[in-house]
Amino acid sequence: MQTDFEHDGEITTLPNNIRQMGAADDGLRIYMEDYVHTYLYQYARSSVNGEKLAVLMGKTKVVDGQKTVFISGVVQARFTEKIKGVETITTQSWKYISEEMEQYFPDLKVVGWMHSRPSFGAFVTSRDEAYHKKVFNNDSSVFFVVDPIDRTDRFYTMNETGGSMRPVKGYFIYYDKNPQMQEYMLANSLIQPKTEDEEDDEEEKSINSHMDAAAKIRSVLAGKETEKVKKVRNKYAVFTFVSAVFCFVCVFMSLSLASNVSRLKKLETEVVSVKQSVEIQKKETKALANDISNYNPVITVMAAENSNPKEETEEKEKKTYTIKEGDTLVKICRLFYGDDSMLDKIIEINKINDPDRIFYGTVIELP
What is the full DSSP assignment across 249-264?
A: HHHHHHHHHHHHHHHH
C-alpha pair distances (Å), 328 with each of 63, 64, 247, 352, 353: 157, 156, 70, 12, 14
By 3-state DSSP, what share of the chain in percent is helix, strand and coil, each rounded to 5? 45, 25, 30
- Are 74 and 41 in contact by the 8 Å Cβ rule? The answer is no
pLDDT value at residue 305: 41
116-143 pLDDT per residue, tens: 989 889 999 999 999 999 999 888 899 9
C-alpha pair distances (Å), 217 with each of 204, 211, 314, 351: 20, 10, 127, 128
14-67 pLDDT per residue, tens: 888 899 999 989 889 999 999 999 999 999 998 767 899 999 999 999 988 889
Closest CA to 10 of 70, 73, 63: 63
d(CA 184, CA 115): 19
d(CA 21, CA 2): 20
24-39 pLDDT per residue, tens: 898 899 999 999 999 9
Q: Is the pTM of this model over 0.75?
A: no
